[in-house]
Amino acid sequence: MLLETGNKDVQFKTRPVESVETGIGFREPDELILDGQQRITSLYQTIVSNKVVKTKNEKGQDIFRWYYIDILKAIDPNADIEDSIISINEQKQITKDFGREIVLDLSKPEFEYQNLMYPVCMVDEYDDWREKYEEYWDYNREKIVLFKKFKTEIISNFNNYYLPVITLKKENSREAVCQVFEKVNTGGVSLNVFELLTAIYAIDSFDLRKSWEKVKEKFSKLRVLKYSENTDFLQAITLLSTYNKRINLEKDNISEDRLPAVSAKKKDILKLTLQEYKNYYQHVEEGFIKAAKLLIENYIFKADDLPYVSQLVPLSVILATIGNDIENITVKNKIMQWYWCGVLGELYGGANETRYALDLTQVISWIRNESDETNVKTIYESSFNPSRLNTLRTRNSAAYKGIYNLIINSGAKDFLSGTRIDLSVYFTEAIDIHHIFPRNWCEKQNIPSKDYDCIINKTPLSSRTNKIIGGIAPSKYLENIEKRLDSNRTGIEELISSHKINVDKIYSDDFYGFFEERKKELVKLISDAMCKKIDMNINIIEPESSENNEIDTQEYYEDQI
C-alpha cells in the first residue's frame, strides 16, 4: 500500500527502505510505503542490493546470509519449491563439525556454476550469470538446456510477477489514510493513530514512541494500568486539549455555535499538534496514575479485575483537570458514584468517544456544583436489573468484575486467614473469585449450572481456602475450617457474613435459601455504590447471551483442585 506525497496537511517523517543508499542523486519520494514494508525490504535486500542480507536467527540474534536457489531442485516437479532455497553464511559456506569441515563452498563464482547454485541476488541480472555459467561448462548443450528450463520456470516467474498495489491519493486526509489502512491491513504491525502521529511528530525531530515508553514505564509500576495502550493515552490528551480549548474560548464569550467540540475521536487525535501533546501529556500521565491509586483505594488491584479499561480515559482526564480537589471526600464520592454507574450500568462496552466528552464536561460541572447529578448522563442513564445477577457468570462482563470488586471493598475477609482482603493480602494469598457452593457438590444435587455458576454463588477467596473447600458440601468444608482454626461456628460467622452470606443458610446447605438472601445483599451493595434505589420486584429475566453461557476457564480448573 502506497501513499502519494504532496499533501501539506498529511506530512510524515520518511526514511528509506533498509540498505538503500541515499547518496548523490537521491531525491524526495513521490510515494511512501504504508503497508508491505517488511516484504519490500526483504525483496530489496535479497534481490536488488547485491549485498549480504542482515537478518535474525530464531533467538533474535543478528546474522548475515546469502541466499541461493538449487537449480535441480527448483525444476524438479516432484520437489517442494521452498526446499530449493538455501541460506548460507557471509563466507558463502556451509560447514559442520564446528566449522572444521566444509560441506558446500560457494565463495567463488565457479563454485556456484559447479554446484548448480543460482544466487538469488542475480535474479534481476540473470544474463551476466548465464554467460559465465555457459563459459564455465564449455557451452555444454545439456547444461545450457538445463539453465534455459530454469530461466523459463523460475526466473521468469520473478521478473513477470505482478505485485498488487493499492495507492492512496495525496488528497486523502489523515483520518482517511488511517481508516483505509486499518480496514485493509489484517496482519503485521497495525498503523493506528499512534503510528501516524509518530511519523508526523518526527518531522520536528520528536520521538513520540520514546515519550510513550517513558510513560509506559511509570504505568508498569501500577498493575491496574497494565492494559492501558498508547491510543488510550492519546485519546486522553486529545480530550483534555479540546476541553481546555473550549473552556478558554467560553471565557472570551465566544458564541456557542463557534465553540470547538470536546472530543477524543480519531479525526481529532490526528489534529493534535506536537505543542498540544507537549502541553498536556504530563498532566494526563499524572491523571492516569491518580486514577490507578483511586481504584486501588477502592480495592481494584490489577488490570484483569478492571471492569472497563476504556473508562480510565475520562477518569484520568477528570482527575488531571480537578487536581488536588480529589483529596476532598465529597469530590471523591461523586467520582466513584459516576464510576460505579458506568460499570454496573454497563455503559462503556461500545464506542465510547461521545460518552468520554459528555462525562468529562458533565462530571466536572457537577463536582464544581455548577449542576447536579441528574445532568450527568452516565449517572442518569444507568440502571441495574436484579435479574442481571442471575446471568453474570464470567469475567467477560464488566458488571461481574464490578460486583467482585464491591464485595472486596465491603470488607470481605478470607475464610481461612481471617484477614481483610487488602492490597498485600490480595497478592500474597493469591485471592481470586471462587464458588461458595462448590461446582461438584451442586452438580450432584442437580442444581443447574446457570445458578451455581453465576456471581451470586461466587466470592473472593485465597487459593488455600479454595483447596479446603474442594467439592464438598459447605457444612463439611466449614467444619474443616473450624478444625484448622481450632474454633467453632461462632468464631467464623463473622468471616462468612463479611461476604454477604447468610450464615444459617450456608451451614444447612440450603443452596436456594442462600441464593435468594445473597442476591438481596448484592443488590444492596450495588444500590449503595450507584446511589440509586433498586426495586427487587423489578426482576425482568434477561435473555441468555453467548457470554453468559461461557465457562470461566480459570475458575473451572482452580475449582477442580
Residue 242: all three cell numbers together? 479540546
For 288, residues 6+ apart whose C-beta sits below 8 A from its C-beta are 219, 225, 228, 233, 236, 312, 316
Q: Coil, strand or helix: which one is 106?
A: coil
Quick check: is 118 in a domain?
A: yes
Q: Which of 173-177, 209-213, 243-247, 291-295 has the lowest mean pLDDT?
A: 173-177
* 552/409 same-domain check: yes
> In terms of Cα–Cα distance, which of 261, 437, 440 is closest to 360?
261
Q: What is the pLDDT of residues 133-171, one digit of tens each?
A: 999 999 999 999 999 999 999 999 888 888 888 888 888
Quick check: is 32 in a domain?
A: no
* 415/490 same-domain check: yes
Q: Which of 159, 183, 217 is the last residue of a domain?
A: 159
Q: What is the pLDDT of residues 483-498, one digit of tens each?
A: 888 888 888 899 999 9
Q: For residues 10 and 7, what is the distance between their CA atoms, to the nearest angstrom?
A: 5
Provide the number of structural domains found in the chain. 3
Q: For residues 426 and 419, what is the distance between their CA atoms, to the nearest angstrom?
A: 10
Quick check: is 419 in a domain?
A: yes
Quick check: is 181 in a domain?
A: no
Quick check: is 173 in a domain?
A: no
CA distances from 349 to 246, 307, 309 (A): 27, 10, 10
**Which residue carries 444492596 as its cell?**
524
Kindly tell me if the per-residue pLDDT of 84 is higher than 50. yes
**What does the DSSP 8-state code read for residue 427?**
H
Kindly tell me if the per-residue pLDDT of 547 is higher than 70. no
* 325/353 same-domain check: yes
Of 184 and 167, the structure prediction assigns the larger pLDDT to 167
Instruction: Average the pLDDT over 223-232 and give the result.
Output: 95
Mean pLDDT of the chain: 89
* 440/545 same-domain check: yes
Q: For residues 368 and 357, what is the distance between their CA atoms, to the nearest angstrom?
A: 17
62 and 115 in contact (C-beta within 8 Å)?
no
* 400/522 same-domain check: yes
Quick check: is 281 in a domain?
A: yes
* 291/391 same-domain check: no
* 344/470 same-domain check: no
Quick check: is 313 in a domain?
A: yes
Q: Which of 103, 131, 159 is the last residue of a domain?
A: 159
Q: Which domain holds residue 66?
A: 45-159
* 267/376 same-domain check: yes
Cα angle for residues 290, 293, 297 (degrees, 5° grid): 135
CA distances from 173 to 5, 183, 414 (A): 12, 15, 57
Kindly tell me if the per-residue pLDDT of 183 is higher than 70. no
Q: At what angle do helices 274-297 and 208-219 cross, to 10 degrees?
A: 10
* 357/411 same-domain check: no
With 0-12 CB in 10 A as exposed, 13-18 as middle and 19+ as buried, what is 444? exposed
Q: What is the DSSP string of 375-407?
A: G-HHHHH----GGGGGG--STT-HHHHHHHHHH
Confidence of residue 108 (pLDDT cuts 50, 70, 90): very high
Quick check: is 476 in a domain?
A: yes
Residue 410: all three cell numbers together? 465491603
Q: For residues 56 and 419, what is the distance between their CA atoms, to the nearest angstrom?
A: 52
* 415/452 same-domain check: yes
382 and 393 in contact (C-beta within 8 Å)?
no
Q: What is the pLDDT of residues 397-423, one digit of tens each?
A: 999 999 999 999 999 999 988 899 988
Q: For residues 204 and 80, what is the distance between their CA atoms, to the nearest angstrom?
A: 50
* 333/479 same-domain check: no
With 0-12 CB in 10 A as exposed, 13-18 as middle and 19+ as buried, what is 390? buried
Q: Which of 125, 142, 159 is the last residue of a domain?
A: 159
**Which residue carries 554446484 as its cell?**
115
Kindly tell me if the per-residue pLDDT of 209 is higher than 60. yes
Q: Quick one: pLDDT at residue 553? A: 43
Q: Quick one: pLDDT at residue 368? A: 95
With 0-12 CB in 10 A as exposed, 13-18 as middle and 19+ as buried, what is 63? middle
> How many Cβ atoms sit within 10 Å of the Cβ of residue 67?
19
> In terms of Cα–Cα distance, which of 14, 35, 38 is closest to 26?
14
* 281/266 same-domain check: yes
Q: For residues 208 and 194, what is the distance between their CA atoms, to the nearest angstrom?
A: 8
